[in-house]
Amino acid sequence: MLFPMQSVVDALQARSGMSFAVMVPDGGYYRAGPGEPVFTLIFRTDAALLQAFTRGHMGLLESYFDQSVDVEGDLGAALAAGLLSGLDSRGKALLNVENGIHELRFSNHSAAQAKTNARAHYGLGAEFYRLWLDDPLMMYTCAYWPEGTQTLEEAQARKIDHVCRKIRLAPGDHFVDVGCGFGGFLFRAQQTVGATGTGLNTTSEQVDWVRREITRRCLGDKLSVREADFRAADVPYDKVVSIGVLEHAGRDQLGEVVQAHANLLKPGGLGMLHFIGHVGPRETDLFIRKHVFPGGWIPGLSEVIVEMERCGLEVLDIENLRRHYALTLDEWALRFEQQWAAIQALDPQRFDERFHRVWRAYLVGCAEMFRSPVGYTHLFQIVFSKGNVTRTSYPMSRAHLYDT
């Protein structure tokens, strides 16, 4: 053993506070912490061990994807321990270079590359997402879990209703849903409020599915969807909803995407930005960009507000739903695992064991990230207006959000 393994394990345990064990290729077994290990890391090759020491969490994760590392026990606890122990700081200089190169290669500067990036993740097919998202809305964004909420289905419906109240959506309003996904917001907002909606989406597979659903539900006079980039603004709308779009704009496109949202809104209109954001400007983790969301970039809340001010938007309210996202991801991870056999049966070549491990790490790891006491990644909802509101155009309190 070339590494002082026991001292490394002890140091990691002291920072994470979790009892765990490590097994290395030569048969060595190292434990740290009291009681039974919550999880055990099993290194199958010396190369995997070297990757962990030189590239930190990225080396460990990519060895897990390649099956040269296994995790016995609680995967969530293992990923949480990595966050708490500062494993992501090891090999940071090397990873920063790799991260920068990746950002240049997958920039969303062109609409064509933005479309390719979106389809890499969201174009996996409705059949795939239907197996583990809520039924029937298929919302693939943070749900809303106020006290008493029991199911994912309930939480996603409550999220949509919460947003509708925030933007004062009313019958007769024509709203636009930027990045509309599978149309869950469009369908529920039309059903519950009676507003007319248009969805914008750059992922062909999702657009085709939403169009078929609009036709099947005979809602062609109420709802529509356009296969278009956010930059393809057409006419201004009474209300703008943007749920999970800013994270995909990219660093060099943040100002442009915020300006596009402003352009889509009529003077005096209301809108909402729902996005994953950092507390303070920070780099986006390489894992999420390289293996899950090519072209993705998580902005700082302050960076978004600066761009909103530049576009003449008044910030009316900011709500942090970080804890709600942890609960949402817990449910997605559970359902994904329960449905893995059915997912794999859809396309065994595409949905192979590597895909399984990447997505497990993504869903479980993000749940732990949003739950972590040392985390700096949050989920924000910003309500804004185009121009300053008056006493008559917007309530003087938040009572309208909860008087249901």
Query: Could you give all domains of the chain from N- to C-terminal order, each with its CATH number?
Result: 5-90 (3.30.1050.10), 107-402 (3.40.50.150)
What are 62's strand-pairing partners? none
Residue type, 34: P
Q: How far is CA 178 from CA 54, 138, 157, 210, 295, in A?
A: 41, 16, 18, 14, 18
Is 244 within 8 Å of 182 (Cβ atoms)? no
pLDDT beyond 90 at 363: yes
Question: Helix (H, G, I), strand (E, B), or coil: what is residue 321?
Answer: coil
Going by DSSP bridges, is the β-strand pair 20-23/39-43 parallel, antiparallel, or unpaired?
parallel
Q: What is the pLDDT of residues 272-317, one digit of tens each?
A: 999 999 998 899 999 999 999 999 999 999 999 999 999 999 999 9
Q: What local confidence, expressed as pLDDT, does residue 291 receive?
A: 97
Q: Determine if the pTM surpasses 0.85.
A: yes
pLDDT beyond 60 at 216: yes
Nearest to 12 by CA among 102, 77, 74: 77
Q: What local confidence, expressed as pLDDT, does residue 90 receive?
A: 65
Q: What is the pLDDT of residues 233-281, one digit of tens each?
A: 678 999 999 999 999 888 989 999 999 999 999 999 999 999 999 998 8
Most confident of 10-14, 53-57, 300-304: 300-304
CA distance 263 to 272: 14
Q: How far is CA 162 from CA 304, 321, 322, 377, 404, in A?
A: 22, 12, 16, 22, 10
Residue in 142, 164, 180, 366 annotated catalytic: 366
pLDDT beyond 90 at 147: yes
Q: Let me know if 366 is a catalytic residue.
A: yes
